[in-house]
Structure 1
Amino acid sequence: MMLPSKTVLVFSLFLLLNGILPSTTVAAARTTIGFTYSAVPSNSPSPEHVVAALQSLNIPAVRLLNPSPTLIRAFSYSNISLLLTVPNHLVTSFADNRSSATLWLYNNVLPFHPRARISLISVGADVITAAGDSGSDPTTAIVTAMQNLHHALIDLGIRTVSVSTTFSFINVITTAFPPSSAEFQEPVNSLVIKPVLEFLEETNSSLLMNVYPYNVYKLHGEIPISFALFEEGPFNFRDDVVTGVRYHNLFDMMVDSVIAAMAVSGYENVPLILTETGWPSNDEHMNVEESKMYAERYLQGLISHLKSGLGTPLRKEGAAETYIYQLFDDENESNSRRNNSLISDGDTMQQHWGVMYNNLTMKYNIHFDNADQISTVLGLLVPSMYFLWLLYDFRLAGILLVLVYFHSRKSEGLDTKITFITCQIFTSRFISGLLIDIDDYFCAFGAAKTHVSRSAFLVSTMLIFSVA
């Protein structure tokens, strides 16, 4: 008759110990930060010099807006990941004939792969807006073009290069306030975006989106500029009343609006890549918001935020990659910038988005290594915390074992078995805790978590209760 109560006691001790020794899993989202690079200006430095400058800054990824064989060849053996963009005028030909896509691959991918780390190809850049301006209809061309390019890659034996297309936030998202209410605009959602998302899910590719907080800030006069610049302040927050989430910067609100829109469409698990973001700099006497000071504050705030590993409230891993627009000023960019800006007057044509001068010096005092230094400090701190938890595990287990031992000396019969079972529990919990902490230690430094220790813990627990 005593066995059931003893079993309950053992189970209660098990739950108590499991509760007071929580999991110490550490997970951090590290977004890859890259730049958009277009070698259009005639006075821009050579691609080889640009690649050397990017390597000196430890830039891991580059988006080539106007790729060419000469440009791609310069990145060979650089270990810089490349996102290539198919020109908009080729989208229709890709859709009409797969051989056009194959020919483009023969010229721009096959001669350099894998020496150049081409990871993704965007079929067009904001094709919807560009096509709308030209009067053509992209709704039937874009998905077919993506499919033909994907199959052409497979035919050539290239399976490590993904295919997607690029959208612009202000042209496809209904609202940024609140993020939980955001959806993709109709009819482009049902005609284009949903078929694209279906293709991306089937091929394990990513949604590409241009996100400019500057544009939304200009639209909504009630937004403090510091909220758009990642700065702290008494009014620098917005609450989503639906989710109860408090946002402390405009960038996260816009990213979560995209995530929410994807969820409404049924594709919330598709990865997200931000292909463009930045802040324009111009003559501040004409437009005070378009100053080098604000551009520098936005870029430094963006980089620090992305490298913090915080992600966004709706997606803790954040965007997989974020590309800053762009390396150099392009005086011929009026058309492309007008498509991505809410400002439609003549000032848009004079906006400058480059972060480097043509002599390869930085225009702004921005740092890419601050967050890495913080991560290094945390990397030294985390193992120490694990070690303290191990000591805590050991000391607590020892104390409880001593207490149970002295209690068992005063007991008879079944209490001896209880002591044995309790010792098994403490030993199993300590060993499994040690293995879990070892797993978490390696997981914190980027290693894959095997969950072997957790499986072993469950097995040992089952054995304990079978003995009981």
Structure 2
Amino acid sequence: MKICYVNFRDRNSSHFISSMLFILFLCTELAFCGTEAEAIGVCYGRLGDNLPSPVEVAAMYTSNRIGKMRIYDADQETLKAFQNTGIEVTVGVPNEKLPNIASSQDIAKQWVIDNIQPHYPTTQIKYISVGNEILPDTPYTANLFPAMKNIYSALQSMDLQNQIKVSTTIPMSVLNKSYPPSAGTFSPKITPIMQSILNFLSQTKSPFMADVYPYFAYVSDPTDISLAYALFQRQTPNEVGYKNLFDASVDALIYAMEALGHSDIPIVVAESGWPSDGNANGGANITNAKIYNNNYIKHILSGQGTPKRPNQILEAFVFALFNEDLKPGDITEKHFGLFQPTKAEVYPVNFTG
């Protein structure tokens, strides 16, 4: 954020008007930078057969002052709907496309020509997430890093590599150890791949993107993890200095990156959220979802960062905009939405903290 230092000594001089115009310019810049840095993101999952049109969705983002949108593919109708909204967009390359993109620079370039070039910069595409949660053991693991490099080279050939950053989104399961956070390390079997990815992110000045879900940690170990700790409701730090599980999880990732020689890569929390139904006895209910997501947004927008990186802006997204009736997996997966497909809110959320 830019800080304005204003000197009014010229108030009675011929420079007063120019000084005031300069001040106005700086304050406009300040307001713009603050809005850009502090906006929360919301993931736009589309695994539903009853969802509003992309045009309606774009209007929901604008009316709710949601500043960032993540989509999991390059849906053309959606990218067109977000034109001229000023909303920052993260576009996904689906996992099943990685083998072809990894195998051919020409295929990677054609993907960018077909899916990015027609929309940028009218649609404010900020990141391309190549693959989603495909580590440590998936059929696409070997394709991930080559695909990232090829997408980057395609952007580079169009001189867009500094405007649109290339990353991938990983799950917390890449960690071999996460507690205490200072002992965070990556799983040995995927460390070589993670080293290559981190080297790439550092060289291209791109962020490390991760999905961070205190809910799943809590339901897997409710004996040792308190609900208050998972919901940002703990008032005093625990024995290792943390008041909430979210900060501890993020810092474990930061320490794991440091263990591989990278202390300067920013983190983007590509997903975090709490289900409102599907496992009421395990904490998946409207009350807890409302508490978590409102506290999560407030925490992100406070700018306080984490104990490892205090007072640093942390870019983050909530998962997800809608309840998705076609989402596979556990029943809770269908109930992470902040809104019903009718656009009615599941529970009140303050997107501006």
TM range (shorter): 0.7 to 0.9
Aligned to 2:210: 209
Whole-angstrom distance in 2 between the partners of 1:317 and 1:77 = 31
Q: Residue 128 of structure 1 aligns to a residue in which SS?
A: coil
Whole-angstrom distance in 2 between the partners of 1:72 and 1:122 = 15
| 1:30-429 to 2 correspondences below 5 Å | 31-128=38-135, 132=138, 136=139, 138-139=141-142, 141-159=143-161, 160-169=163-172, 171-190=173-192, 192-220=193-221, 221-233=223-235, 237-240=237-240, 246-283=241-278, 287-318=281-312, 320-335=314-329, 347-348=331-332, 351-369=334-352, 371=353
| 1:15-26 to 2 correspondences below 5 Å | none
The alpha-carbon deviation at position 237 of structure 1 amounts to 3.4
Q: Can you list the C-alpha shifts for 1:83-131, whole angstroms capped at 9, x where unaligned?
A: 00100011111110011111111221111110000011011101225x6
Please, which runs of 5 or more residues in structure 1 have no aligned partner? 1-27, 241-245, 336-345, 372-468
The alpha-carbon deviation at position 306 of structure 1 amounts to 1.1
Q: Residue 167 of structure 1 aligns to a residue in which SS?
A: strand
Whole-angstrom distance in 2 between the partners of 1:279 and 1:199 = 32
Instruction: Tell me if the contact between 2:170 and 2:210 (Cα under 8 Å) persists in the aligned partners.
Output: yes
Whole-angstrom distance in 2 between the partners of 1:283 and 1:148 = 40
Q: 1:260 to 1:32 in 2, by over 3 A?
A: farther
Q: Can you list the C-alpha shifts for 1:298-348, whole angstroms capped at 9, x where unaligned?
A: 00110111111111010124463111111111122225xxxxxxxxxx545
Whole-angstrom distance in 2 between the partners of 1:309 and 1:222 = 29
Whole-angstrom distance in 2 between the partners of 1:264 and 1:116 = 37
Letter in 2 for 1:38: G
Please, which runs of 5 or more residues in structure 2 have no aligned partner? 1-33
Which shifted more, 217-226 or 145-154? 217-226
Q: Can you list the C-alpha shifts for 1:59-101, whole angstroms capped at 9, x where unaligned?
A: 1100011331111010000000000010001111111001111
Instruction: Tell me if the contact between 1:39 and 1:47 (Cα under 8 Å) persists in the aligned partners.
Output: no
Q: Residue 119 of structure 2 aligns to a residue in which SS?
A: coil
Instruction: Tell me if the contact between 2:47 and 2:325 (Cα under 8 Å) persists in the aligned partners.
Output: no
Letter in 1 for 2:121: P
Greater gyration radius: 1
The alpha-carbon deviation at position 352 of structure 1 amounts to 1.0
Q: 1:248 to 1:320 in 2, by over 3 A?
A: closer
Instruction: Tell me if the contact between 1:39 and 1:66 (Cα under 8 Å) persists in the aligned partners.
Output: no
Instruction: Tell me if the contact between 1:66 and 1:85 (Cα under 8 Å) persists in the aligned partners.
Output: yes
Letter in 1 for 2:96: H
Identity of aligned residues (%): 29
Letter in 2 for 1:195: S
Aligned to 1:5: none
The alpha-carbon deviation at position 283 of structure 1 amounts to 4.4
Whole-angstrom distance in 2 between the partners of 1:250 and 1:183 = 17
Letter in 2 for 1:216: A
Whole-angstrom distance in 1 between the partners of 2:225 and 2:185 = 21
The alpha-carbon deviation at position 153 of structure 1 amounts to 0.7
Q: 1:54 to 1:348 in 2, by over 3 A?
A: closer
Whole-angstrom distance in 2 between the partners of 1:207 and 1:364 = 31
- RMSD of aligned C-alpha atoms? 1.9
Letter in 1 for 2:63: S
Whole-angstrom distance in 2 between the partners of 1:360 and 1:39 = 14
Whole-angstrom distance in 1 between the partners of 2:227 and 2:145 = 38
Instruction: Tell me if the contact between 2:303 and 2:313 (Cα under 8 Å) persists in the aligned partners.
Output: no
**How many residues are aligned here?**
317
Instruction: Tell me if the contact between 1:38 and 1:66 (Cα under 8 Å) persists in the aligned partners.
Output: no
Q: Residue 185 of structure 2 aligns to a residue in which SS?
A: coil
Letter in 2 for 1:333: K
Q: 1:319 to 1:179 in 2, by over 3 A?
A: farther
Letter in 2 for 1:238: N
TM-score by length of 1: 0.65
Q: Residue 151 of structure 1 aligns to a residue in which SS?
A: helix
